[in-house]
Structure 1
């Protein structure tokens, strides 16, 4: 059961990598919603805290990595507004 969670966490986390790399490369955030990424980044942060509270390593790792990707995009959205 935990392996299934690890696979799911890996896939959903990796799905943010192409957008993050494209945003870094192009410095174009015009197609990205500031509201959506603000809410999403906050939600991922909350999931990370939840992972620590329950001691679930797959939730912690997946959300820390996703948080870094989402925060990168959010910061670039604010910077290149």
Structure 2
């Protein structure tokens, strides 16, 4: 196995861990509908950054970056949706 494949395996391990760590927050927010502790500006900036990482992954042809950031984009979008939908007016 060449060095590039080893690096990509490392990337996939990091992708699984960082993406999986984010999913409990999405589930908890969906279940409780409590968004009081979530910051809309922070999640907008985070979503923008993740989207740029996703694009970057395509530009450098990195499956691990595409995988991790694609899933995290969806998760972050859901949290943004929940923040807007469930915030107290």
TM (norm. structure 2) is 0.87
Does structure 1 residue 30 correspond to structure 2 residue 36?
yes
Give yes or no for contact 2:19–2:68 (8 Å, CA) kept in 1. yes
State the 1:43 CA deviation. 0.6
Show structure 1 runs of 5+ residues with no match: none
- 4+ runs of 1 displaced by more than 3 Å? none
Counterpart in 2 of 1:11? 17
Alignment of 1:30-69 (within 5 A): 30-69=36-75
User: How many residues were matched structurally?
Assistant: 81
Counterpart in 2 of 1:78? 84
Q: Give the Cα separation in 1 of the matches to 2:66 and 2:39.
A: 26
State the 1:75 CA deviation. 0.9
- What are the Cα deviations for residues 22-68 of structure 1, in whole angstroms up to 9, with x where unaligned? 01111110000111101001110111111111111110010000010
State the 1:4 CA deviation. 1.2
Show structure 2 runs of 5+ residues with no match: 1-6
